[in-house]
A = this chain, B = another copy of it.
Amino acid sequence: MCGIFGITDNKEASRLTYIGLFALQHRGQESAGIASESNRKLVYYNSMGLVNEVFNESIIAGLKGRNSIGHVRYSTTGSSDVSNAQPLYFNSKFGEIAISHNGNIINSGELKAELRNLGAIFQSTTDSEIIVHLISRHKSHDLIEALKENLPKLKGSYSFLFLTKKELIAARDPYGFRPLFYGKKDNSYVFASETCAIDAVKAKLIGEIEPGEIAVARSGKLKKIRFSNSKKYSRCIFEQVYFARPDSFFCGYSVQSARYEIGRLLAMEYNIKADIVSGVPDSGTAYALGFSKQANIEYKTVFMRNRYSQRSFIQPKQSAREFTAEMKLSPIKDVIKGNSLILIDDSLVRGTTSQKIVKSLKDCGAKKVIMLIASPPVKFPCVYGIDTARKEELIANKLSIKEICKFIGADELHYLSLDNLINGCGRGDINFCHACFSGNYPEK
């Protein structure tokens, strides 16, 4: 759960990176940073906070150069402090190098221990600097060669952007867990975690960096190199369920349209009637519109989201999460009162937010609350970078669906089946990682 962005051969590289990161802000609000190549030297700036808090005109102006990479961070590993803010900067035998990473290296503990025994010293608690240590110890002085031989040593998920004085290098793990798209804007190559960031800088989407691929952008050219045989493509299905921005594209459809389709399948799976159908904003809305169409039940807005609140799922501390849940959703009483309601949410992880939502509806006089979840029960922790909580926090591990229904106070509770989710997401494309729902971890 981070966002990465990069652009080459553009005299406004850092400014466009700023705009790209702003478009990826929903992927991480803890820290933001940009590194740029300026006059054969790397310069960088990162700090805790939102993109528009971290950067101002004079900082952007100072990040001169034609190639830039950036990062927004939500901590999955590593503690919440500024030494973990990315891009990370290093000076190695390949010269200066900056790195943005989205993903989670599963074997980081072993690799770090091994490297430390060989004399490596680490500056952060993230797993993102491991790859720089590995390549810096490689016999070759050819950076691409070093990457090709060392990336396969990493287990887990990674989409990387590397910035050197001469080039911008993108790399994606052999399963393609985490997204990495690229596009073109005049002579510039653009790389981003989501297509919405490519749109934001008015670039044209080309496609995805393929799993097991390195892409080197240098002097207006892009060269692709394969470092691993093709594995079964395993895109994180949770991107589609919750994480991605509705206007981003994923498997050929916009996320919004896929969610609409999933909502339609949900209506087909459960033939339920009610006065109104609605969604938990923001992600639930698209599911509810699809459901409304299929089930022929009127869609109405029952909750307003306070636009001055932060996204609840994504705040690191429990206390902050509770407070924002309090403040962020406001019920529309006269729409709710006396009606039976179908309310659709994208997923149900801990159950605490759903509990508050149902209570709020009942307090407003809802006759009946039917909670529908547009994905299966989350029973397995994600090891590839989505912070779905530890296993013991997952309510579906502890309670039956009936018990969860009781816990959240709803009259009914139903989950979408995994098959329907996969069908809705991909419409034929079935190359997803759905380990959080199924327990099938692709690497195992």
List A residues at the B interface (Cβ < 8 Å): 19, 22-23, 25-26, 50-52, 83, 89-93, 97, 112, 116-123, 125, 129, 132-133, 136-138, 196, 199-200, 245-247, 249, 253-254, 256-257, 260, 282, 285-286, 289, 293, 298-301, 304-308, 311, 327, 330-335
Contact = CB atoms under 8 A, between A and B. Distances in A.
A330 B194 CA distance: 13
A25 B91 contact: no
Contact of A121 (B132, B257, B332): B132
Given A119-B133, A299-B289, A301-B256, A247 B333 contact: yes
Q: A-side binding surface: helix, strand, loop or mixed?
A: mixed
Given A307-B26, A332-B247, A332-B256, A117 B93 contact: yes
Contacts of A50: 308
6 contacts: A22-B306, A23-B330, A93-B117, A118-B119, A121-B132, A121-B136
Contacts of A52: 308
Given A123-B123, A247-B330, A331-B247, A308 B196 contact: no
Nearest to A252: B334
Contact of A304 (B97, B137, B256, B260): B256
A298 B308 contact: no
Contacts of A331: 247
A308 B25 contact: yes
Given A247-B332, A247-B333, 5 more contacts: A23-B306, A93-B120, A118-B137, A257-B334, A305-B307
Nearest to A116: B93
Contacts of A282: 307
A299 B299 contact: yes
Contacts of A311: 307
Contact of A245 (B83, B138, B304, B327): B304
A300 B289 contact: yes
A117 B136 CA distance: 8
